[in-house]
């Protein structure tokens, strides 16, 4: 049993420190190694000069981008997560890396998780049709984008998509990547923050081929319909990240528990479970409007983990550290 001993804030990741990139306000901060020794940091809806409020929703003149991507080589996490550069547009400010679908009923394109496999980088994302009440929204589909140049340019293959169901309850609309042995895994939830989590996997070179995936259902792997998958983790599960911790020899999952207004940590011997109940890592009493929780891939070999935390107001990101014990 892994125990949460304490959490502290290290430093802001965005805000005043990223205005030189045209990033005045943003969220998520999804972290992964691009396979070339560089940390990639993916953001959700991003705003520049002219942003003057909390939360999302593009005010006129705020330089809104649906998403953005930064790069970092900073290893001294106790000093914070320093962003070295961004994927730029023509004026040098952070570009939107995943474009919206032309002519579609689509509000925004939000990244969920990233991973590097076999020389390629993959970014799981969701096509958001409509935002709903707090913690709920509707997606058109979930997809996987790919980069062949370390994250500089991205393509959204039309075939690498999981369309949402007519009822809006497809279990793989918001997914976290993981990799083990010869497989790439997707831990998925429906669109929103209140449901259980499900597990799918494919061979490492089939990431962009949805028919190649199999899904964990009632204790075994099955091919075919992802909606036949059965939960491996009880909800409510919000935005999630996964990592294998070498020190404890267990998988860690960090996610939002909307019912408790907290980021929680869970652990399991295998991705299929059994997953321990979530322990509070950061409470909304200390960080009102918190969400996200993305583990740093360069800090999974000891008793401390680092992660990014988003806060709806003032709509920016912090680097946090949590100490763990057995």
> Could you report the per-residue pLDDT of 128-182, keeping only the tens digit for each?
999 999 999 999 999 999 999 999 999 999 999 999 999 999 999 999 999 999 9
pLDDT in tens, 244-270: 999 999 999 999 999 999 999 999 999
Phi first, then psi: what are they for 268, rounded to 5°?
-160, 155
% of the chain with per-residue pLDDT over 90: 95
Q: Domains of the chain (ranges plus CATH)? A: 3-325 (2.115.10.20)
Position 110 pLDDT exceeds 80 = yes
Average pLDDT of the chain to the nearest whole number? 96
Q: Is 215 helix (H, G, I), strand (E, B) or coil?
A: strand
The residues pairing with 120 across neighbouring beta strands, listed in sequence order, are 117
Helix (H) or strand (E) holding 175: strand 174-180
Position 1 pLDDT exceeds 90 = no
Rg (CA), the chain: 18
What local confidence, expressed as pLDDT, does residue 50 receive?
A: 85
Q: Would you give the DSSP letter of residue 52?
A: -
Q: What six digits make up the tokens of 12?
A: 């802001």
Helix (H) or strand (E) holding 186: strand 183-189
Confidence band (pLDDT; 50, 70, 90) for 239? very high
pLDDT in tens, 53-98: 777 667 778 999 999 999 999 999 999 999 999 999 999 999 999 9
Cβ atoms of residues 231 and 242 within 8 Å: no
What local confidence, expressed as pLDDT, does residue 61 receive?
A: 82
What DSSP string describes 251-296?
A: EEEEEEETTTTEEEEEEESSTTSPPPPPEEEEETTTSTTEEEEEE-
What local confidence, expressed as pLDDT, does residue 85 receive?
A: 98
User: What is the distance between the terminal CA atoms of the chain, rounded to a whole angstrom?
Assistant: 6
Q: What six digits make up the tokens of 87?
A: 């994927």
What local confidence, expressed as pLDDT, does residue 60 receive?
A: 77
């Amino acid at each position: 049993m892994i125990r949460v001993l304490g959490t502290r804030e290290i430093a802001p990741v965005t805000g005043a420190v990223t205005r030189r990139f045209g990033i005045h306000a943003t969220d998520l901060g999804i972290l992964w190694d691009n396979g070339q020794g560089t940390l990639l940091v993916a953001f959700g809806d991003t705003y520049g000069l002219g942003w003057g409020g909390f939360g999302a929703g593009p005010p006129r003149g705020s330089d809104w981008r649906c998403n953005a991507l930064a790069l970092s080589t900073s290893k001294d996490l106790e000093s914070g997560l320093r962003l070295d550069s961004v994927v730029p547009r023509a004026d040098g400010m952070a570009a939107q890396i995943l474009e919206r679908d032309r002519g579609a009923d689509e509000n925004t394109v939000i990244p969920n998780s990233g991973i590097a496999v076999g020389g390629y980088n993959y970014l799981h994302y969701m096509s958001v049709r409509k935002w709903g009440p707090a913690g709920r929204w509707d997606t058109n589909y979930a997809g996987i984008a790919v980069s062949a140049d370390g994250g500089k340019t991205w393509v959204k293959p039309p075939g690498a998509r999981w369309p949402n169901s007519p009822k809006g309850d497809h279990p793989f609309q918001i997914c976290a990547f993981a990799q083990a042995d010869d497989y790439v895994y997707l831990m998925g939830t429906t669109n929103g923050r209140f449901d259980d989590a499900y597990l799918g996997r494919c061979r490492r070179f089939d990431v962009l081929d949805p028919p190649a995936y199999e899904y964990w259902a009632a204790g075994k792997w099955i091919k075919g319909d992802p909606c036949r998958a059965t939960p491996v983790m009880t909800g409510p599960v919000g935005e999630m990240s996964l990592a294998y911790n070498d020190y404890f020899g267990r998988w860690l999952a960090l996610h939002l528990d909307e019912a408790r207004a907290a980021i929680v940590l869970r652990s399991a011997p295998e991705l299929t479970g059994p997953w321990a109940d979530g322990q509070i890592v950061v409470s909304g009493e200390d960080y009102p409007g918190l969400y996200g929780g993305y583990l740093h891939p360069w800090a999974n070999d000891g008793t401390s983990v680092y992660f990014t935390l988003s806060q709806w107001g003032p709509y920016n990101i912090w680097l946090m550290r949590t100490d763990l014990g057995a």
